[in-house]
Amino acid sequence: MLLLCPLLLFPQFSNILTVQTPPTMSMKAGVETPVKLHVKLNSGYHVNSDKPADEYLIPLKLTWTSGPLAVKSVTFPPPRMEKYAFSEKPLSVYTDDFDIITKFEAPANTPKGEKLVTGKLRYQACSHTACYPPRTAEVKIAVNLY
Amino acid sequence: MTRAPFATVLALTLLAGCSYAPPSRAAIKPTAKRNPAPPFTLKDSQGKSFNLADYKGKVVLLNFWATWCGPCKLEIPWFMEFEKNYRDKGFAVLGVSMDEEGWEVVKPYLERVKMNYRVAIGNDIMAQHYGGVESLPTSFLIDRDGKIAAVHVGLVSKSDYQRDIEHLLNSGKKASAGSRVVAVPAVALPAVQ
């Protein structure tokens, strides 16, 4: 049976989380602009929130590579407190779909034109019965600075 | 049976088998179908090297885990109990932590939980030899002949573990009298500090 369905089995391990980035953003120099990352988790999985309750748990972390745009803030949505069979206390997690908002601002004197902003979303996912090693999703956003 | 219903049954069977990966409840494999456990050399929390061959003649529960893995931490007290109850019957638990930070995070955890069995830091090479270890916990039950008798991927009930361990301890007694440890290819795995 397993030999017949590797293509159906493997995606659940390799693609638990996906990050959708917006199309090319238009951004005015000197103006703070929010950028939304849409994160989608496969059904039945969760990732720790950015502030997990347990010190050993690996938090969700978004880091942006330094570039022409300054990161003014990164805002995660309110987490869900979910109880799992393997934990005594509810865990602070994200499930299903959620958005992370980053506010960027380019100094007014930044040269205009196309910019590429890159970042990394580090996450550690679990199902109800197993956990997966921490992974990093690369994030790239094209910005048209005017 | 006509072709159409057969195709439907086949499709449904495949979907049922492929669309959901339940927690593993692998039965103990028949002796003839067991493969040798890949050898390894690791260092424990005291810095002492050990390898799987040191445990020949024993039933070994080789558990891949991590401090960030909730289901793994639920199992640890069970394993401590198994170690305590079955040690004198020829049983040992070996914990292999897959924490990237190594002893820096694992040692404090061992002290906090007071783990009574041997723990080492694993590495990707060892994990590859054991099939990749895609998720945690993943545990291998190794019989007295050094062969993998069962693999548990994900959280498995304590009673399932207990039943499997007792089965191997009891069957091992009968089989080991005339048996020998099976030679396995000498794959040198790097010891991890």
pLDDT band at B16 (very low <50, low <70, confident <90, very high): very low
Mean pLDDT in chain B?
A: 82
Task: Let me know: does B126 contact B96? Beta carbons within 8 Å.
Answer: yes
| Cα-based angle A38, B133, B35 (whole degrees, multiple of 5) | 155
pTM (two decimals): 0.81
Residue B189 has pLDDT above 60, yes or no: no
Q: Residue A50 belongs to a domain with what CATH number?
A: 2.60.40.1250
| Contact (CB<8Å) A13/B14 | no
Mean pLDDT in chain A?
A: 89
Q: Is residue A36 part of a domain?
A: yes
Task: Let me know: does A141 contact A117? Beta carbons within 8 Å.
Answer: yes
Q: Is residue A44 part of a domain?
A: yes
Q: Is residue A8 part of a domain?
A: no
Residue B19 has pLDDT above 60, yes or no: no
pLDDT value of residue B27: 81
Contacts of B91 (CB under 8 A, 6+ apart): B58, B59, B60, B61, B82, B83, B165, B169
Q: Is residue A137 part of a domain?
A: yes
Q: How far is A137 from chain B (nearest CA, A)?
A: 17
CA B137 to chain centre: 9
Number of structural domains chain A divides into: 1
Enumerate the β-bridge partners of residue A137.
A121
B71 CB neighbours in chain A (<8 A) are: 86, 126, 129-131
Q: Is residue A112 part of a domain?
A: yes
CA A67 to chain centre: 19
Mean pLDDT of all residues in B31-53? 95
What are the pLDDT digits (tens) for B120-129? 999 989 999 9
Q: Is residue A76 part of a domain?
A: yes
3-class DSSP assignment, residue B142: strand
Q: Is residue A73 part of a domain?
A: yes
Facing B155 at nearest CB: one of A2, A4, A86? A86
pLDDT band at B114 (very low <50, low <70, confident <90, very high): very high
pLDDT value of residue B181: 37
Q: What whole-number percentage of chain A has pLDDT above 90?
A: 80
What are the pLDDT digits (tens) for B82-108? 999 999 999 999 999 999 999 999 999
Chain B residues contacting A via beta carbons under 8 Å: 13-14, 17-19, 21, 23, 66-74, 98, 100, 105, 109, 134-137, 153-155
**Strands, sheet with A91-95, edge to edge from the N-terminal-most edge strand:** A80-82, A91-95, A46-48, A125-126
What are the pLDDT digits (tens) for B53-74? 999 999 999 999 999 999 999 9
ipTM of the complex: 0.84
pLDDT value of residue A15: 80
Which domain does A39 fall in, by range?
A: 16-145
Domains contained in chain B, CATH given: 39-176 (3.40.30.10)
pLDDT value of residue A131: 97
Residue A20 has pLDDT above 70, yes or no: yes
Residue A112 is given by DSSP the state P
Task: Let me know: does B103 contact B121? Beta carbons within 8 Å.
Answer: yes
Q: Is residue A84 part of a domain?
A: yes
Which residue out of B14, B25, B69 would a mutagenesis test of the A interface target, given it has the greatest number of A Cβ atoms within 10 Å? B69
B68 CB neighbours in chain A (<8 A) are: 56-58, 124, 131, 134
| Contact (CB<8Å) B71/A124 | no
Facing B67 at nearest CB: one of A2, A56, A130? A56
Higher pLDDT among residues B46 and A10, named by residue: B46
What are the pLDDT digits (tens) for A29-59? 999 999 999 999 999 999 999 999 889 999 9
